[in-house]
């Protein structure tokens, strides 16, 4: 049974989700691991497709039951985590699991999977560009944008703990680099 994992991590707004979607279009062997979260569902999001949306109480119950490979309280009462059952489902289907997670989650997953994982850090070209991207999304309050920017500054210090770094300045170049690195890893 295949048990390889591809981990894409980045500060919010760096482009990891766009790169993961591109890889899934190009490589059918990849299966996205849907994360669990206790944050509120955004208008366009679908439970079970974008995230497993849980209340903070439900999330804490899963923590107590040891149901997560990794989890983190990113902001007060805003938990994110990877359910063991989701990853096992993907492996049982004979797929390579791909993750789109924050930096701490990515490092925790890399530690869990070891050499069976490729951990990719997606880096924005600059902090200014990252701020522009977060504002362009138009999905966050000013307070949330400032929280995300402060977290991003901290996360950028961890890029050297990943297997590889992709600077997402030009999206097409970043897509090509991502595809090449992932293909080489899963062959």
For a pLDDT cut of 90, what percent of the chain falls above it? 72
For a pLDDT cut of 70, what percent of the chain falls above it? 99
Average confidence (pLDDT) over 137-152: 81
Residue matched to tokens 């004979």 = 94
pLDDT digits (tens, 9 = 90+) for 73-83: 988 899 999 99
**Helix or strand (DSSP H, E) at 80:** strand 78-83
Average confidence (pLDDT) over 43-69: 95
Band (14; pLDDT cuts 50, 70, 90): confident
Q: What is the pTM of this model?
A: 0.87
Q: Where are the domains of the chain?
A: 5-186
CATH architecture of 5-186: 3-Layer(aba) Sandwich (3.40)
Pairing of strands 78-83, 68-75: antiparallel
Determine the Cα–Cα distance for residues 36 and 23; give it in Å rounded to an integer: 21
The answer to whether 19 and 166 are in contact (CB under 8 A) is yes
Tokens of 70: 């990794």
Q: In Å, how far from its chain's centre is CA 105?
A: 7
Measure CA of the first residue to CA of the last residue in the chain; give whole Å.
Answer: 14
């Amino acid at each position: 049974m295949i048990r390889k994992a591809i981990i894409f991590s980045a500060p919010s707004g760096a482009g990891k989700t766009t790169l993961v979607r591109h890889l899934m279009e190009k490589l059918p062997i990849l299966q996205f691991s849907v994360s669990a979260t206790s944050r509120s569902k955004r208008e366009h999001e679908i439970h079970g497709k974008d995230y497993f949306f849980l209340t903070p109480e439900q999330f804490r119950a899963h923590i107590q039951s040891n149901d997560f490979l990794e989890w983190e309280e990113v902001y007060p009462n805003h938990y994110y985590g990877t359910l063991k059952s989701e990853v096992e489902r993907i492996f049982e289907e004979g797929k390579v699991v791909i993750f789109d997670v924050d930096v701490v989650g990515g490092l925790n997953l890399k530690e869990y999977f070891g050499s069976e994982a490729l951990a990719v850090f997606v880096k924005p070209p600059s902090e200014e560009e990252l701020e522009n991207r977060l504002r362009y999304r138009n999905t966050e309050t000013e307070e949330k944008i400032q929280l995300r920017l402060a977290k991003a500054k901290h996360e950028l210090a961890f890029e050297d703990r990943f297997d590889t770094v992709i600077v997402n300045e030009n999206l097409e170049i970043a897509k090509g680099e991502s595809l090449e690195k992932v293909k080489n890893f899963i062959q």
